[in-house]
């Protein structure tokens, strides 16, 4: 991403083609009750004009997937990262026992676009990349006329890191509790009732204790995902998970997990000083 394109996006918005994302349709009389027992947010609040964000967690409270969900008159529709298509489908099928629910993989039937920074676009209100935007679902084969420049995957990733948005599998994965990634406010409802992993996550909320916490950093040189973060004593206290280059300053920027309670000052990675941003 160049400085010029960054300013253009900031001023006028942009679009992203997310059609490769895994997409599922849930139908049947028990669909809301069933999905509410699978995800961290309250599916009863889904609407036809906006999405809710949620995690699918395992019995230990760690993330198996993150999803966006919206409703129609007769179905719930959800989307997830492309490489979760098989695993998420199997997970959701596994818990359909005596429920009046049918799960259909509709990944190839629909396009999915996201537009932010343009108020004229009509769609589902959705905050995917740090600012208000909207999702547009279109049948495969139809043409989407974007009102804004369409970002490349690389530029979209840079924007995500700039906006400090965690992503599967960089930050959101089978080693991560949702609170560690800082998505409690967006993805969780502690009054909704039972779901898989709820007990562990409720305990984290009560105690405030978790192994790690997400840090957004900047450095004067580019760094590599997977690099250990050291404190002033030279002890490893975290790991870099996402990296990009700031389009204006040329600095390295990224996200990382550090041990909870670590002072986010005087940290280094590969001999380069990190500063919190």
Check pLDDT > 90 for residue 264.
no
Q: 245 and 134: one domain?
A: no
pLDDT, residue 121, reads 87
| Sign of the C-alpha dihedral computed for residues 272, 174, 43 and 106 taken in this order | positive
**Within-domain flag for 193:** no
Are both 222 and 156 inside the same structural domain? no
Determine the Cα angle at 40 with ends 199 and 69, to 5°.
165
Q: Supply the range of the domain harboring residue 265.
A: 211-277
Mean pLDDT across the stretch 32-59?
97
Q: Are residues 257 and 147 in the same domain?
A: no
Q: Examine residue 103 and state whether it is found in any structural domain, yes or no.
A: yes
Strand ordering across the sheet containing 102-105: 52-57, 63-71, 76-80, 22-27, 102-105
Instruction: Indicate whether 18 and 115 sit together in one domain.
Output: yes
Domain count, the chain: 2
Whether the predicted pLDDT of 119 surpasses 90: no
Out of 146, 162, 178, pick the residue that ends a domain.
162
Question: Are 140 and 32 within one domain?
Answer: yes
**Quick check: is 68 in a domain?**
yes
Token reading at 266 = 């005087």
Does residue 192 sit within a domain? no
Whether the upstream peptide bond of residue 72 has omega within 30° of 0, thus cis, is no
pLDDT per residue as tens digits for the range 58-75: 999 999 999 999 999 999
Around 233, how many Cα atoms within 13 Å sit in the side-chain half-sphere? 5
- Of the residues 97, 129, 162, the one at which a domain ends: 162
CATH code assigned at 35: 3.30.1360.120
Strand partners, 70: 77
Say if residue 131 is in the same domain as residue 223: no
Percentage of residues in the chain with pLDDT exceeding 70? Answer: 100
Q: In this structure, are 158 and 216 located in the same domain?
A: no
Task: Identify the CATH number of the domain in which residue 219 sits.
Answer: 2.40.30.110
Q: Which residues pair with 267 in a beta bridge?
A: 274
100 and 24 within one domain: yes
pLDDT digits (tens, 9 = 90+) for 160-203: 999 999 999 999 999 999 999 999 999 999 999 999 999 999 99
Q: Looking at the domain assignment, is residue 175 inside a domain?
A: no
Residues 80 and 144 in one domain: yes
Same domain, 30 and 141: yes
**DSSP line for 60-86:** TS-EEEEEEEEE-SS-EEEEE-GGGHH
Q: Judge contact between 244 and 161, C-beta under 8 A.
A: yes
Q: Are residues 127 and 255 in the same domain?
A: no
Domain identity same for 157 and 250:
no
Q: Is the pLDDT at 118 greater than 90, yes or no?
A: no
Poorest-pLDDT segment among 30-34, 127-131, 168-172: 127-131
**Residue 204 resides in a domain:** no
- Residue at 46 is within a domain: yes
Domain presence at residue 171: no
């Amino acid at each position: 991403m160049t400085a010029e394109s960054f300013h253009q996006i900031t001023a006028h918005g942009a679009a992203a083609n997310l059609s490769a994302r895994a997409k599922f349709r849930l139908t049947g009389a028990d669909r809301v009750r069933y999905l509410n027992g699978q995800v961290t947010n309250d599916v009863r609040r889904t609407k036809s004009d906006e999405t809710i964000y949620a995690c699918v967690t395992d019995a230990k409270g760690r993330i198996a997937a993150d999803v966006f969900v919206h409703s129609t008159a007769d179905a719930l529709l959800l989307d997830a990262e492309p490489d979760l298509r098989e695993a998420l489908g199997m997970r959701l099928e596994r818990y359909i026992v005596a429920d009046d629910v049918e799960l259909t993989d509709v990944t190839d039937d629909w396009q999915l676009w996201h537009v932010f920074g343009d108020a004229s676009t009509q769609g589902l209100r959705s905050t995917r990349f740090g600012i208000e935007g909207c999702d547009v679902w279109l049948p495969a084969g139809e043409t989407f006329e974007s009102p804004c420049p369409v970002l490349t995957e690389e530029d979209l990733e840079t924007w995500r890191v700039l906006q400090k948005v965690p992503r599967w599998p960089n930050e959101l994965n089978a080693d991560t509790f949702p609170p560690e990634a800082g998505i409690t406010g967006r993805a969780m409802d502690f009054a909704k009732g039972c779901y898989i992993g709820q007990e562990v996550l409720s305990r984290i909320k009560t105690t405030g204790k978790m192994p790690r916490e997400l840090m957004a950093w900047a450095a004067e040189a580019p760094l590599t995902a997977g690099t250990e973060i050291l404190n002033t004593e030279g002890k490893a206290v975290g790991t870099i998970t996402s990296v990009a280059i700031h389009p204006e300053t040329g600095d390295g920027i990224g996200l990382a997990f550090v041990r909870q309670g670590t002072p986010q000052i005087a940290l280094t990675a590969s001999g380069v000083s990190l500063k919190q941003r």
